[in-house]
Structure 1
Amino acid sequence: MAGQPPTERADATRNRMKILRAAAAMIAERGAAELSLDEVAKAAEVGVATVYRKYRDRSQLIFALLDEQEREFQQAFINGPPPLGPGAPPGDRIHAFLHALVDRMETQVDLLLLAENTSSGRFRSVPYAVHHTHLSILLAQLIPEADSAYLADALLAPLSATLVSYQLKERGLSIDEVRAGLDDLLRLMGCPLSH
């Protein structure tokens, strides 16, 4: 699975957890846009150098906050029960996978928006690569003659935090309407939906 943390000393683990808790509390209180590494260090009661050694910039801290939920999500689609996990037809798994991504957007859109707009960006992130590979494999099973890598990019494009944030905040769509739009897109591709 992507995003497995390296082994670390007990004191480093304590400091990392203090930093992540402080960052999460700051985001919950003031929003993700206000996240500052210096303020996180102060709130976590660790040295600024400790924060910067672990997270060179804000984007690394943002990705670390998202990492635990990403690992749980990967576990669900790699080893979890169907239809998200193995055992369901490819079309059902694609449908469940995209809906699960929308569910994550609903709760994390501001944090994902910040992560997406960092110097490393969405397309260079490990989670994007894992999601893309997973979808490519399922699409190759569903439509063997198609360019599954291209289709995976095309299906992930509507799930950019930038677009979902715009749809929710500017267009006033509900998360159910975003899901319904994805279902329409899948139908246009000829992907069978049993849900």
Structure 2
Amino acid sequence: MPERKPRADALRNREAVLAAADRLFARSDRPEHVTMADIAAEAGVGKGTLFRGFGDRTGLIQALFETRLEPIRQAVAEGPHPLGPGTPPIQRAPALLDALLCFKLDHHHLSLALEEAGTGSPYGAGHYDWWHDTLRGVLEDLPGFGDGDFAAHALLAAVRADLIAHLIDRRNAPREQLRAELAAFAAKVLNGPRQDVRTAHDR
């Protein structure tokens, strides 16, 4: 049997719900306080529509985040420069980190809501494994870099939503300063020694 397409009104409701959630998270100082009832009221639909379409609050947040993230996923998979696969890894790795930082700055409260939803940890968010696997692959394409698994985790820790919130809210760090500091940090990691470093325990 051919797969049934969603009805037009269901698609309209979905877009209305995502747009409403986007507005509420953008203007909320406490994203954890945005409820399904708030989103339903903002979208002009019943709460049942939200639960049928997204399962629960975490599912709704994940769907909204994935929708907003999709253009970056496409750029990483297909281009254009500098995120695409044709870019040298020494340029592509910092470009990926900068794109993620800018995304989280542009969707600040949504990113916080996602990282706090469910497990209370960014590592449980659905997109985290994709970012980690992508960055690790780029790092391992660097000549002599070796295993990029831990390095990818460490670099992604620099763009955690709670860290960005701290830097913005407590230090009033401007956007371009954060981008410059992240680029400098990434350069130190990427341009560091390529030899295999043993721990003190191994010596």
2:77 is aligned with 1:74: no
Number of the residue aligned with 2:187: 187
Task: Report 1:112-151 matches (<5 A).
Answer: 112-120=111-119, 121-151=121-151
Aligned-pair CA distance for 1:143: 4.7
Shift of 1:147: 2.3
| 1:163, distance to aligned residue in structure 2 (A) | 0.4
Quick one: which amino acid aligns to residue 13 of structure 1?
Answer: L
Residue 84 of structure 1 aligns to a residue whose secondary structure is coil
Residues 35 and 58 of structure 1 are in contact (CA less than 8 Å); yes or no, is this contact kept in structure 2? no
Cα deviations across residues 80-100 of structure 1 (Å, max 9, x unaligned)?
A: 212211212101001111111
Asked if 1 retains the 8 angstrom alpha-carbon contact of 2:90 and 2:190, the reply is: no
Length-normalised TM-score, structure 2: 0.82
Which amino acid in 2 is paired with 1:20?
Answer: L
Q: Deviations over 1:152-185 (max 9, x none)?
A: 1011001000001101111222222222222222
* Superposition misfits of 4+ residues, deviation over 6 angstroms: none
**Identity among equivalent pairs (%):** 32
Q: CA deviation at 1:72?
A: 0.8
Q: Does 1:41 align with 2:40?
A: yes
Please name the residue that 1:25 is paired with: 23
Per residue, is there more helix in 1 or in 2? 1
- Aligned CA distance change for structure 1 residues 27 and 110 (closer, same or farther; 3 Å): closer
- Whether the aligned pair in 1 keeps the contact of 2:13 and 2:45 (CA below 8 Å) is yes
Superposition RMSD on alpha carbons, in Å? Answer: 2.2
Bigger Rg over Cα: 2
Tell me if structure 1 keeps the 8 A contact 2:76–2:84.
yes
User: Residue in 2 aligned with 1:157?
Assistant: 157
SS of the residue corresponding to residue 189 of structure 1 reads: helix
| Partner amino acid, structure 1, of 2:140 | A
Taking the aligned partners of 1:116 and 1:184, their CA distance within structure 2 comes to 25
CA contact (8 A) 1:37 1:48 kept: yes
CA distance in structure 1 between the partners assigned to 2:94 and 2:16 by the alignment: 37
Any gaps of 5 or more consecutive residues in structure 1? 1-5
The one of 4, 8, 12 aligned to 1:14: 12
Structure 2 counterpart SS, 1:142: coil
Q: Whole-Å Cα distance in 2 between the matches of residues 189 and 41 of structure 1?
A: 45
Larger deviation, residues 126-135 vs 32-41: 32-41
Query: In terms of mean alpha carbon deviation, does 59-68 or 106-115 score higher?
Result: 59-68
Kindly provide the amino acid, as one letter, of the partner of residue 110 in structure 2.
L
Distance 1:81 1:99 in 2: 15
Aligned to 2:199: none
| CA shift for structure 1 position 55 | 2.6
